[in-house]
Structure 1
Amino acid sequence: LDSIAWALNVRGGDVDHTPVALSYAIVGADGTTDLFVAPDKLDDAVRQHLGNAVRLHDRTAFAAALGTYAGKRVAADPERAVAAITQALQAGGAKVLPLRDPVVIAKAIKNPVEISGHRAASARDGAALARFLRWVEIECVKGGQTELSAAAKLLAFREQTGLLKDTSFDTISATGPHGASPHYHVTEESSAPIEPGQLYLIDSGGQYADGTTDVTRVMPIGEPTEEMRDRFTRVLKGHIGIATAVFPDGTMGGQIDAFARRPLWEAGLDFAHGTGHGIGAYLAVHEGPQRIAAPNYPGGAAMEPLRAGMMLSNEPGYYKAGEYGIRIENLILSEPRAIPGADREMLGFETLTFCPIERTLIEPALLTAEEGQWVDDYHAKVLAVLAPEMTDAEDRAWLIAKCAPLR
Structure 2
Amino acid sequence: MSDQTADKPADQQAPPSAAAPYDALLLLSFGGPEGPDDVVPFLENVTRGRGIPRERLKEVGQHYFLFGGVSPINDQNRELLGALREDFAEHGLDLPVHWGNRNWAPYLTDTLRELTAAGHRRVLTLATSAYASYSGCRQYRENLADALAALEAEGLTPPRVDKLRHYFNHPGFVRPMVDATLAALAELPEDVRAGAHLAFTTHSIPTAAADSSGPAEGHGDGGAYVAEHLDVARTVAEAVREETGADRPWRLVYQSRSGAPHIPWLEPDICEHLETLHGEGVPAVVMVPIGFVSDHMEVKYDLDTEATAKAADLGLPVARAATVGADPRFAAAVRELVLERAATERGERPGRCALGALGPSHDLCPVGCCPARAPRPAAAGADSPYA
Give me the TM-score of the superposition, normalised by structure 2. 0.25
Higher relative contact order (CA 8 A, sep 6+): 2
Higher strand share: 1
